[in-house]
């Protein structure tokens, strides 16, 4: 996603109420398709980051291998979410 797309995504995520309604009312089909593409790309980005964090936490858990029971308890609780 380039800077232009990121700015537009930030607009979609942060604009609320009447401002968003005004934007959506004037948007044509191409604008709406583009907005959905940006949101889909952001969703994939968040899923990728979540997977990276999950893997990182598993690696840390293996590294510590029970040497830190408090940390293991916190990680186990987070993994159940």
Domain count, the chain: 1
Ranges assigned E (strand) in 1-81: none
**pLDDT, tens only, 57-71:** 888 877 776 677 787
| Distance between CA atoms of residues 61 and 72, nearest Å | 7
pLDDT tens-digit profile, the chain (81 residues): 899 999 999 999 999 999 999 999 999 999 999 999 999 999 999 999 999 999 998 888 777 766 777 877 887 888 887
Which domain does 32 fall in, by range? 3-79
Q: In this structure, are residues 33 and 25 in contact, taking their beta carbons and an 8 Å threshold?
A: no
DSSP state at residue 38: H
* Length in residues, the chain: 81
Look at residue 62 in the predicted model and tell me its pLDDT.
77
**Residue 80 burial (C-beta neighbours within 10 Å; 0-12, 13-18, 19+):** exposed
DSSP state at residue 67: S
Q: For all residues of the chain together, what is the average pLDDT?
A: 91
pTM score, two decimals? Answer: 0.71
């Amino acid at each position: 996603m380039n800077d232009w797309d990121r700015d537009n995504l930030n607009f979609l995520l942060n604009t609320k109420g009447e401002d968003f309604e005004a934007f959506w009312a004037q948007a044509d089909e191409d604008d709406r398709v583009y907005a959905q593409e940006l949101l889909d790309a952001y969703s994939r980005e968040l899923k990728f980051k979540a997977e990276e964090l999950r893997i990182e936490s598993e690696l840390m858990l293996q590294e510590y291998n029970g040497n830190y029971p408090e940390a293991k308890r916190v990680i186990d609780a987070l993994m159940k979410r």
